[in-house]
Amino acid sequence: MKVVIVGGGFAGMNLAKSLAKKSPFEVVIVDQHNYHFFPPLLYQVATSFIEASNICYPFRKMFQHQHNIRFFQGKLLNVVTSGNYIETTNGNVSYDYLVLALGTETNYFGMTNVMENALPMKTIDDALNLRNRLLLNIEEATREEDKSKQELLTTIVVAGGGPTGVEVAGMLAEMSRRIKNKDYPELKYVRGAIILVDAAPKVLAAMSEKSQAEAYKSLQKLGVKIILNTAVKDYQGNKVYLSSGEVINAGTLIWTSGVVARQVPGLPAESVGRGRRLLVDEHNLVKGTGNVYALGDLCLQTSDKYYPDGHPQLAQVAMQQAKLLSRNLQAKLSGKPLAPFKYWNKGSMAIISKYKAVVDLPKAFYKGFLAWLTWLFIHIIPLAGFRNKAKILYNWFWAFVTNDPTLRLIIRPDADREEASKSEIKPAIKATPVEKSVV
Ligand SMILES: Cc1cc2nc3c(=O)[nH]c(=O)nc-3n(C[C@H](O)[C@H](O)[C@H](O)COP(=O)(O)OP(=O)(O)OC[C@H]3O[C@@H](n4cnc5c(N)ncnc54)[C@H](O)[C@@H]3O)c2cc1C
């Protein structure tokens, strides 16, 4: 029984792990990257706090000892439900059951200039791009003689006051306080600003009022300017245009404002719901299909009575859905009844700065140092690989004790080579005939 999982994020990886060594399942993970990564710590990569390799793990190593799991690198292009196969950039893969777990991509709400000029934070590449841009801008500011240009280059607007926006704004403010004058003495008298903008009336809109108030107060104390009830409307020529009419001169706009489900061509039109999410039943079966499932951020499931509008797009939802689907696929084979999905909300949290975080449990709230320790602990556990956990603990220890991590390196991949390799891949897509199923 061949199960093809497209997307090795929280949902896909957990499903594969649950099906490991479970015969008769033969599992193929298809992903555009050859590694699994951990999005909640991307902002620490983007702010030079930890190395990218600390939060990534190669699929092939992860499943080295699982003989029923194989990895196939390729980007999904199309699902051919009538033939039970998918088309990818590297060939076709046939399936008995297809599980789509492609997650989401950044949503710019149709604002072309924002898409072209702002920096998103959704993938490892995004985080490294952002790190380079921040470091290049500050280097350029040291060479500038015009004070207003120096201020522009060191002004950062963060669009989106959710956990990611709050975390990145807090981290940048800490760095500006603790590192700027030491590393960049030329900028001692330059007042760059960190400005957080959100269309909602509160930061951390999905969390409790206590968490919202604590985050607001702590960010302000760190020197972050917060602008609420206001949307970013445009970004060009280093000017951020706000819905209030205000214009901010800023060398960097970090975009953490929204996501939309990744597109899956080939599925029936009736299966696509709000935010492009795939509509699934209580067993995560995609509407209008017989053997195609969708998990995690990509799907919209309204059968859970406590979440009639669908579940929040969180790691816990993806992991719990994956584990249930594994049990249901096994139950299906042995003719047993299938269980419906019910989300168990274990709580949510956000880190604001060093020693400051907020934690919302279903019936409690806490903040401060204990919340900060909880955040660190909870974010260490799901990291793939013991070495990554040890390395990150060491990095955190060093960075928090010295307030001065040593990763502010501008390392840029060779753009020409990247372009060349991209154009090498493209012809192979069309050249692969359907009959020559690679896996
Ligand atoms: C910066 C950031 C911080 C976050 N912080 C938190 C947090 O603190 N707590 C929390 O609960 N949630 C957090 N989230 C949300 C959480 O990461 C998602 O809910 C979770 O990753 C969803 O899991 P998934 O498996 O559905 O998708 P993902 O984890 O996004 O995995 C999707 C996978 O599909 C692959 N893929 C995508 N397109 C293709 C394609 N065309 N072909 C092949 N492969 C493809 C990708 O490479 C990826 O491996 C955060 C997200 C971000 C971006």
pLDDT tens for residues 85-111?
999 999 999 999 999 999 999 999 999
Q: Reply yes or no on whether 282 is catalytic.
A: no
pLDDT of residue 20 exceeding 60, the answer is: yes
Domain ranges of the chain: 2-32+74-106+260-333, 112-257+359-402
**What is the token pair recorded at 118?**
């702002």
Sorted by sequence, the CB contacts under 8 Å of residue 39 that are 6+ apart come out as 9, 122, 315
Per residue in 21-59, pLDDT tens? 888 999 999 999 999 999 999 999 999 888 898 899 999
Asked if 2-32+74-106+260-333 and 112-257+359-402 have one fold, the answer is yes
Pocket of ligand 1 (CB under 6 A): 6-12, 30-33, 39-40, 42, 75-76, 101-103, 121-122, 163-164, 262, 296-298, 313-316, 318
Residue among 6, 86, 100, 102 to mutate when testing ligand 1 (max atoms within 8 A of CB): 102
Residue among 10, 126, 260, 343 to mutate when testing ligand 1 (max atoms within 8 A of CB): 10
User: How confident is the model at residue 50, as a pLDDT?
Assistant: 87
> Residues 139, 153: contact at Cβ < 8 Å?
no
Q: How far does CA 174 lie from the centroid of its chain? A: 22
CATH of 112-257+359-402 given 3.40.50.10540, 3.90.79.10, 3.50.50.100, 1.10.3720.10? 3.50.50.100
Sorted by sequence, the CB contacts under 8 Å of residue 326 that are 6+ apart come out as 15, 18, 19, 22
Per residue in 199-246, pLDDT tens? 999 999 999 999 999 999 999 999 999 999 999 999 999 999 999 999
CB contact burial 102-130 (16+ within 10 A = b; e otherwise): bbbbbbbeebebbeebbbbbbbbebbbbb
Mean pLDDT, the chain, integer: 91
Q: How confident is the model at residue 418 (pLDDT cuts 50, 70, 90)?
A: low
- The architecture that CATH gives domain 2-32+74-106+260-333 is 3-Layer(bba) Sandwich (3.50)
Q: Which DSSP string do the residues of 276-322 spell out, in sequence order?
A: GPEEE-TT-BBTT-SSEEE-GGGEEE--STT-TT---S-HHHHHHHH
Overall pTM surpassing 0.85 (yes/no): yes
